[in-house]
Amino acid sequence: EPEVTQTPSHQVTQMGQEVILRCVPISNHLYFYWYRQILGQKVEFLVSFYNNEISEKSEIFDDQFSVERPDGSNFTLKIRSTKLEDSAMYFCASSERTKQYFGPGTRLTVT
């Protein structure tokens, strides 16, 4: 069965640094998403993307965050200047319509 893949599996960065989290959605999917899960907390929606533009975004997704689909396969989340509170698991998801398939996540640790 096709899967969403994410790289890296674990990223450690210093506060203030930029990070790019990468995702390869399922190939025939048109809708893409980023979620995050702070340790011990709920999975929270960050942003959705369709037709090469942001469809919806949450309050968490401020100017420090951006998303891009640089080519036909990758979908990236950039955090420009990381803060300690950005430490979390970041999940990418994709969907053809309604059912969202999640990747295994990238654990981001900001020190």
Residues of this chain that bind other proteins (CB under 8 A): 31-33, 35, 41-45, 48-51, 55-56, 58, 89, 91, 93, 95, 98-105, 107
Query: Would you say 37 or 64 has its CB closer to other proteins?
Result: 37
Strand, helix or coil at 85? helix
Query: Would you say 18 or 50 has its CB closer to other proteins?
Result: 50
CB of 42 to other proteins, least distance (A): 5
Query: Would you say 31 or 64 has its CB closer to other proteins?
Result: 31
Query: Would you say 23 or 110 has its CB closer to other proteins?
Result: 23
HEC letters along 15-81: CCCCEEEEEECCCCCCEEEEEEECCCCCEEEEEEEECCEEEEECCCCCCCEEEECCCCCCEEEEECC
CB of 41 to other proteins, least distance (A): 8
Go through the chain and tell me how many residues it has. Answer: 111
CB of 70 to other proteins, least distance (A): 18
Task: Return the structure tokens found at 80.
Answer: 């420009």
Question: What is the rounded distance in angstroms from the CA atom of residue 91 to the CA atom of residue 93?
Answer: 7
